[in-house]
A and B are shown apart, each in its own frame.
Chain A
Amino acid sequence: MNSSTLRTVTVLAGGISHERDVSLRSGRRVLDSLHANGLTAELRDPDASLLGHLAESRPDVVWPALHGASGEDGALRGLLEALDVPYVGSTASAARLAWDKPTAKELVRRAGVRTPRSITLSHDAFRELGAASVLAALTEEHPVPLVVKPARGGSAQGVTVVDDAGALPRAMVDAYTYCDDVLVEQKIVGTEVAVGVIDTGDGPLALPAVEIVPRHGVYGFEARYNAGETTFYTPARLDADATQAAARAAVVAHETLGLRHLSRVDLIVDAAGTAWFLEVNVLPGLTETSLVPMALDAAGYELGMVYAALAEKAVRDHAAE
């Protein structure tokens, strides 16, 4: 039964980013959940007709489920703001900060949350200074094991865990294929968790941490999107202090970056119980194998109701602006 005041929701999914496939999966799941909750919702793959369509149809709210590029870098959100259309998720300016991993790390670090030591390097830096000397300086300051990842992007695309310095050049090349800036960070050994943060009107709330244990190696693309390839523990098998530390780190990251409605913070909790911030997603995956739906389910929420509540919150926030 629909108890919502919303009439129409436009879910945006697809796009032309590397994460198009994941986005389509997320979008369809959001759409199904909204339908199950009695809302009228449509799915649109953004194209040249989108802005005209939104200006004309004036949906009550837009739900961007566009992972990667324009969906997360703030561009589309800025346009929705220009069109004066309410939308679910963080503002354009906040999304821009979170989308850039080095920027997000620095801001969250300044807010008192630990984050692995790192360095961000452009392809141009290697070109100008010579790869051999840059890599030598890098490994001097940041010994292996390291994690190499594109500075912007998601779904673990282009990410390599480097345990042997000899593999570092190849890891850099693979990351630069996705993005011209690459983040190299110290690998923290510990429990890998993801903490969803939702705010439907009562302030940011950390969902139960989801512990991630890939069956084979790292939590890469295949481990993320093939059911069965990863074992999840919700709540994570952490003691009470570590659980609280992870939740606190997630909420601090969410608030520090000025995020709203929904985010997912990826953390490593080390043996001492310290939560290390890795990155934040302003548009967390909402597919059948994604972590936020898992956490919502574990916390006893019904997905459709939460999604409808987030959509209503977006409308209220827009009205208050």
Chain B
Amino acid sequence: MTEQGTNLDPWYDSYAERTAGLSASEVRALFAVASRPEVVSLAGGMPFVSALPPELLSGSIDRVLSSNAAMALQYGSGQGTPAIREHIMQVMAMEGIRGSADDVVVTTGSQQALDLVTRLFVDPGDVVLAESPSYVGALGVFKAYQADVQHVAMDDDGLVPEALRETIARVRSRGGRIKFLYTIPNFHNPAGLTLTWARRVEILEICRSEGILVLEDNPYGLLSFDQPAPHAMRSIDDEGVIYLGSFSKTLAPGFRVGWALAPHAIREKLILANESATLAPNSFGQFVITEYLDQADWRGQIDTFRDLYRLRRDAMLSALGEYLPSLSWTKPDGGFFVWLSLPDELDSKAMLPRAVKELVAYTPGTAFFADGGGRQNIRLSFCYPTPESIRTGVARLATVVNGELDLLRTFSGAGLERRSSARQSVSTPPSNTV
């Protein structure tokens, strides 16, 4: 070995600045145990695809291979097939959206649409407005493009319009360039909240008057439990909103098929960016989904998912009431997530090793903030574990919380310093936990 030593990565100094934070972390490593059967994982946002009867898809796959294999196995259009785009219009019509299939761009999951939109609009240092908290996968994309994410407060009715006005004014007063507002209006990830209709109208009006584009991410909108979500923001404004949709939650994420519906000028650039990134979205997946939407009772399947997730939501809310009655949490009317608030002295990220010992996994709130917030929050997912497992998991979580409170009480009179909430890098959990 030389006197210079080795750092095991000869390219260490060659990486782009935007890769800062792309590293193994202690927290990320702890998520490895979430896959063990002994562990109740309340961390992952994985749809329960086992509730999808295989025969619903096997016929579609057979028909694609027998009648359309040459096209389905070939490169396709960078915009997606015309047939699936027509079907996507029908899906979006369920949430009040009218428009043209020509303005739909099919992508590799809506995650890629998020990446493409950010690539089109964000230069390093540009400001992206996002709810507080916001989707960890979006924060990872914004960070990769070196955006300055400014969080905007939410309450039980979703994003707070007045907070949006104040944030816009504050950012602009210091010369910041706001590129878009990223929002998840329905059954928010991670907060579980839904933006009211009146606020949708008000927020669109604010953005229109301030010249700010809205990026509406709606993967959960059709998974309502007790009453349908209000119509999409895109149903009100077809010029100022880019709408992102996905088959990941209403069918299966393994297809990696999502889409963007964009004003036509933006759509043109999205198609070119899509071709640049992947040449074309997954052809085979698009053909199979098209067959499925043609032939299967896909609306009935969505109802099946809704019933299943409603039961799991109920199990989680009931277990929280029983085991952690002194804490507070959101009560989602759809989607996958509950947002739990801890006592001030607790730190959800620091508590994770204790949770691993107790065989329960969750996602610390810090994953959903770009500014170091979220230490007093936990995202709990109810989509994947059975109701019985959810009860077990919440009971274990109560043991974790009580154990950590006991520990902190022990040191409370000994000058225990509060943890710094200084700005930090986004600690991205593995993809199966988003």
Pick from B6, B31, B39: contact of A232, CB below 8 A.
B6
Instruction: Give chain A residues whose Cβ lies under 8 Å from the Cβ of B406.
Output: 127
Is A131 within 8 A of B413, CB to CB?
A: yes
- Residues of B in contact (CB 8 Å), total 43
What residue in chain A is nearest B34 (Cβ atoms)? A20
Q: Which one, A101-109, A169-177, A184-192, A260-268, is touching chain B?
A: A169-177
Answer yes or no: A112 CB below 8 A from chain B CBs: no
- What DSSP secondary structure best describes chain B's contact surface? loop
Closest beta carbon of chain B to A130's beta carbon, Å: 7
In residues 349-402 of chain B, which contact A (Cβ within 8 Å)? 350-351, 353-354, 356-357, 359
Type the 1/0 row for A118-151, where 1 means its CB is closer than 8 Å to any CB of B. 0000010011001110010000000000000000
Q: Complex formed: what's the CA distance from A157 to B357 in Å?
A: 13
Is B7 within 8 A of A176, CB to CB?
A: no
Q: Which one, A34-42, A223-231, A249-257, is touching chain B?
A: A223-231
Interface centre among B25, B408, B410 (most CB of A within 10 A): B410
Is B411 within 8 A of A172, CB to CB?
A: yes
What residue in chain A is nearest B13 (Cβ atoms)? A228
Answer yes or no: A304 CB below 8 A from chain B CBs: no
Answer yes or no: B300 CB below 8 A from chain A CBs: no
Instruction: Give chain A residues whose Cβ lies under 8 Å from the Cβ of B359.
Output: 16
Answer yes or no: B36 CB below 8 A from chain A CBs: yes
Q: Complex formed: what's the CA distance from A193 to B428 in Å?
A: 32
Instruction: Give chain B residues whose Cβ lies under 8 Å from the Cβ of A219.
Output: none
What residue in chain B is nearest A295 (Cβ atoms)? B1
Is B414 within 8 A of A157, CB to CB?
A: no
- Residues of A in contact (CB 8 Å), total 52
Closest beta carbon of chain B to A220's beta carbon, Å: 8
| In the complex, number of A-B residue pairs with CB atoms less than 8 Å apart | 127
Closest beta carbon of chain B to A253's beta carbon, Å: 24
Q: Complex formed: what's the CA distance from A21 to B1 in Å?
A: 29
Instruction: Give chain B residues whose Cβ lies under 8 Å from the Cβ of A237.
Output: 3
Pick from B28, B31, B413, B416: contact of A173, CB below 8 A.
B416
What residue in chain B is nearest A157 (Cβ atoms)? B26
Q: Complex formed: what's the CA distance from A170 to B406 in Å?
A: 14
Type the 1/0 row for B415-429, where 1 means its CB is closer than 8 Å to any CB of A. 111010000000000
Is A221 within 8 A of B404, CB to CB?
A: no
Q: Complex formed: what's the CA distance from A286 to B3 in Å?
A: 24
Known A24-B32, A177-B404, A227-B8; contact A222-B25, beta-carbon cutoff 8 A: yes
Answer yes or no: B5 CB below 8 A from chain A CBs: yes
Known A221-B29, A226-B23; contact A288-B8, beta-carbon cutoff 8 A: yes
What residue in chain B is nearest A23 (Cβ atoms)? B32
Answer yes or no: A235 CB below 8 A from chain B CBs: yes
Is B36 within 8 A of A20, CB to CB?
A: yes
What residue in chain B is nearest A215 (Cβ atoms)? B7
Type the 1/0 row for A191-235, where 1 means its CB is closer than 8 Å to any CB of B. 000000000000000000001010100001110011111111111
Instruction: Give chain B residues whose Cβ lies under 8 Å from the Cβ of A167.
Output: 417
Answer yes or no: A245 CB below 8 A from chain B CBs: no
Is B411 within 8 A of A18, CB to CB?
A: no
Answer yes or no: B70 CB below 8 A from chain A CBs: no
Pick from A173, A234, A288: contact of B408, CB below 8 A.
A173
Answer yes or no: B17 CB below 8 A from chain A CBs: no
Answer yes or no: B33 CB below 8 A from chain A CBs: yes
Instruction: Give chain B residues whose Cβ lies under 8 Å from the Cβ of A166.
Output: 415, 417
What residue in chain A is nearest B415 (Cβ atoms)? A169
Pick from B353, B404, B414: contact of A169, CB below 8 A.
B414
Answer yes or no: A239 CB below 8 A from chain B CBs: no
Is A20 within 8 A of B24, CB to CB?
A: no
Instruction: Give chain A residues whose Cβ lies under 8 Å from the Cβ of B414.
Output: 130-132, 135, 169
Q: Complex formed: what's the CA distance from A88 to B61 in Å?
A: 48
Answer yes or no: B407 CB below 8 A from chain A CBs: yes
Instruction: Give chain A residues whose Cβ lies under 8 Å from the Cβ of B30.
Output: 18, 21
Is B410 within 8 A of A126, CB to CB?
A: yes
Instruction: Give chain A residues whose Cβ lies under 8 Å from the Cβ of B9.
Output: 227-228
Q: A176-B407, A227-B12 are in contact. List 6 more A-B contacts (CB 8 A).
A: A131-B411, A169-B417, A170-B417, A173-B408, A173-B416, A213-B5
Show 15 residue pairs from A and B whose CB-CB distance is below 8 angstroms, ordered by the A residue: A18-B357, A20-B32, A21-B32, A127-B410, A130-B413, A169-B415, A169-B417, A173-B411, A177-B350, A177-B404, A220-B26, A227-B8, A232-B8, A234-B6, A235-B1
Q: Which residues of A pack against B, CB within 8 Å?
A: 14, 16-22, 24, 45, 47, 123, 126-127, 130-132, 135, 155, 157-158, 166-167, 169-170, 172-174, 176-178, 211, 213, 215, 220-222, 225-235, 237, 288-289, 298
Q: Which residues of B pack against A, CB within 8 Å?
A: 1, 3, 5-9, 11-12, 23-26, 28-33, 36-39, 350-351, 353-354, 356-357, 359, 404, 406-408, 410-417, 419
Sorted nearest first, the 6 A-B pairs with minimum C-beta distance are: A228-B12, A228-B9, A131-B414, A21-B32, A227-B9, A21-B29
